[in-house]
Structure 1
Amino acid sequence: MDFYTLSVLTAIIIALGFASESLARGTEELEKGLSQGIAGGLVLGFLTSLPETIFVIVAIIDKKYSVALGSAIGGNVVLFTFGIGLIGLAYFFKWKSKLRMKGDYKVENRFLILTTISMALIIVYGKLNIITAIPLFFIYIYYIFYRLNKRENREIDKINMKKALTYLSIGAIIIVTLSGFFVNYLYVTAKDFGISPAWLALVITPIASELEEKISALRLTFANSEGGSLAIVSFIGSKIENATVLLGLIGLFSSFNLNTTLPEIIAAFIANIIGLVTLLDGKLGAKESTFLMILYFFMIYVSFIFTK
């Protein structure tokens, strides 16, 4: 059991957390001048997925496909359970009412249904390869064009572009610099402790990459009564990318058999369904939120047991 490796991995995660916070501040500045659909679904979604995207690319280059898979879908598991639950609970305590979705969030919901169906088909097929990659890329490209056509017009002169780009650049540079070390140390740590690299990536990657998304979401939730809706839209937008582009990248550069990582991808599939069911009527109360937060830990535990 190498505690030096674990210590280095912990230090890298902390540094990546600071980088993610920098990304969050940059995306919040951009959000000021964009509509909910564009900022939440595309801009916020893309930028908040940047850490996982880089982790996945580095893992693919290193041929650590199980780490790439865990990094790609880990965010879906945590944000559609613990993340949405956290926002719902925070909203309830701040505004003393259920969180009600507003604006054009239903577009994201439709595409989330489509990506969930795609994940189900991939689980049945049992592989990530070029056959799965092409449809996944097509779904995300279609989502981008559909969202742009449905965008709302809104003034953008409130954006401090220099401030936004500074925060985004700092965050991106740190993430690019440390991503290779993160992937390697995560893989080595998993082997040292005798656990699945895919499972560890499923748990650890969201800590390093999703922290800023939760912080940003909480800020939006506390800022005004519509912030909770935008926060959840950004969750959905970024996870649509994870379940299409990131899984597509793995399939594009490999023919990865899912047999050894089925518990992880099934957990992500279930999390997608939970997210859809929870948001079906556009409302989220304290009881549902608490249940979702508890459910996250249960799913991680069950995934670990079946991985072993």
Structure 2
Amino acid sequence: MLYIVSLLGGIALLTLGGEALVRSAVAGAERLGVSALFTGLVIVGFGTSAPELVVSINAALENKPDIAIGNVIGSNIGNIMLILGLSALIYPLTTQRQALKRDGLVMLLATLGFIVLGVNGTLGRVDAVVLLAGLAAYLVWAYQSEKRQPQALEPANVLIEAPAKRPSSGALIGVGLVAGLALLIGGSQLLLYGAIGIAQALGLSEAVIGLTIVAVGTSLPELAVSLVAVLRRHADVAVGNILGSNIFNLLGILGVSAFLQPLTLAGRMAAFDQWIMLASALALLLFLATGLRLSRGEGAALLGGYAVFIAASFTLLA
């Protein structure tokens, strides 16, 4: 019971911390006059990955590579199959060709790059530098391509929440950033404690827990943003949020984690899970390429695939 309470408490703190960090960062970006579309990509997409970042870094420093890597792989699978699948089931998702050609391509290349770099069973510091350099190159490319786009092509509102819900002064923005980070750090510690305790109590491997419970728990900010976007008919935000989050998970989170502590990639993650991550990325891009939309039927297919993945994680592959 203590482990369950710790796990739920950690997820709650991670969600609150992610919300505080994202809203404060959005407000700060607006005060700096950053492009709305670029802010949506970097702050909403990358900002909602803050829980994954803190959990994976802590797991790496505590020499728990299965959770550090499993959290990222599981989050990317869940982001596509669970979050976009559920979102499309509620309302068909559309996207812009620019996002598909740029962000979708980078997500696929990041996934393939991770698999290639980990073929020897280890993500070392040199691999980490390659991943982080890829993230920097992507950010420069995204910024420059957005500057070349006519202002009329930018969505009317890519930031989801109403301005009244975001801090308005510089002091409040600073407090929100610090409080959000503190909640993320505390929540990650609680979540790791509860997740590892549950794994030991049930006889499950840390890899299974990292790929499922931890991954889904740290993806709650992405889930919240995508569902709100769909309900408000901002389908492009839902898709962009997930593409940006998956890119940051692979290039940023694994890059930082592996730089701090080399990570071992072995067992079921190397033999099975990373290929499911690649298959889910390919399926999403294939679905979006047919008419620049994700239909309800395609969303149902993604959800069905995620159900099979979770069942396999807790049975044959555990």
Query: TM over 0.5: same fold?
Result: yes
Question: How far is 1:223 from its partner?
Answer: 2.2
2:87 is the alignment partner of 1:80? no
Query: For the structure 1 residues 170 and 251, does the alpha-carbon distance in structure 2 shift closer, same or farther, using more than 3 Å as the test?
Result: closer
Pick from 101, 112, 119 the counterpart of residue 107 of structure 2: 112
C-alpha contact (below 8 Å) 1:37/1:104 kept by paired residues: no
Matched, 1:133 2:128: yes
The structural deviation recorded for 1:200 is 0.8
Shift in Å, 1:30: 7.0
Mapped to 1, the partners of 2:58 and 2:79 lie a distance apart of 23
Give 1:286 shift. Answer: 1.0
Deviates more, 1:3-12 or 1:234-243: 3-12
Deviating more after overlay: 123-132 vs 103-112: 123-132
Structural mapping, 1:84-95, within 5 Å: 84-92=84-92
Are the structure 2 counterparts of residues 112 and 214 from structure 1 closer, same or farther at C-alpha, using a change threshold of 3 Å?
A: same
Q: How does 1:1-308 map to 2 (within 5 A)?
A: 3-23=1-21, 25-26=23-24, 35=35, 37-92=37-92, 99-102=93-96, 104-105=98-99, 106-122=101-117, 124-152=119-147, 161-162=168-169, 167-224=176-233, 227-252=234-259, 253-262=261-270, 263-281=272-290, 282-308=292-318
Using the TM superposition, give the Cα deviation of residue 303 of structure 1 relative to its aligned residue in structure 2, in angstroms. Answer: 3.4
Contact persistence 2:70–2:215 (CA under 8 A):
no
Secondary structure at 1:307's aligned position in 2?
Answer: coil
Moved more, 283-292 or 36-45: 36-45
Give the AA of the match of 2:40.
G
Unaligned runs of at least 5 residues, structure 2: 158-162
Letter in 2 for 1:48: T
Shift in alpha-carbon separation, 1:177–1:140, aligned structure 2, 3 A: same
Q: 1:56 to 1:276 in 2, by over 3 A?
A: same
Q: Quick one: which amino acid aligns to residue 20 of structure 1?
A: G
1:194 Cα deviation after fit: 0.8
Residue type of the alignment partner of 2:6 = V
Number of the residue aligned with 2:160: none
Question: Which consecutive segments of 4 or more residues in structure 1 shift more than 6 A?
Answer: 30-33
Q: How large is the RMSD of aligned CA atoms in angstroms?
A: 2.9
Deviation at 1:283, TM superposition (A): 1.2
CA contact (8 A) 2:18 2:51 kept: yes
CA contact (8 A) 1:37 1:233 kept: no
Query: Which region of structure 1 is more displaced relative to structure 2, 228-237 or 244-253?
Result: 244-253
Partners of 2:48 and 2:253 in 1: how far apart? 13
Q: Deviations over 1:54-106 (max 9, x none)?
A: 111111111111111122222101111111112212224xxxxxx32126313
Corresponding pairs, count: 297
Question: Secondary structure of 1:63's partner?
Answer: coil
Of residues 182-191 and 159-168 in structure 1, the stretch that sits farther from structure 2 once superposed is 159-168
Percent of aligned positions that are identical? 22
Q: Is the Cα–Cα contact under 8 Å of residues 118 and 265 in structure 2 kept in the other structure?
A: no
Equivalent residue letter for 1:142: A
| Cα distance in 1 for residues equivalent to 2:29 and 2:284 | 23
Measure the CA separation in 2 of the matches of 1:255 and 1:266. Answer: 18
- Residue 149 of structure 1 aligns to which amino acid in structure 2? Q
* CA gap 1:35/1:219 in 2 versus in 1, 3 angstroms: farther
Of stretches 282-291 and 99-108 in structure 1, the one that deviates more from structure 2 is 99-108
**TM-score normalized by the length of structure 1:** 0.84
Q: CA offset at residue 274 of structure 1?
A: 2.2
Counterparts of 2:13 and 2:236, CA distance in 1: 29
Unaligned runs of 5+ in 1: 93-98
Alpha carbons of 1:123 and 1:307: their partners in 2 closer, same or farther (altered >3 Å)? farther
Alignment check: 8 A CA contact 1:20 1:210 kept: no
Distance 1:113 1:11, change over 3 A: closer
Distance 1:251 1:306, change over 3 A: farther
Contact 1:81 1:274 in 2 (8 A): no
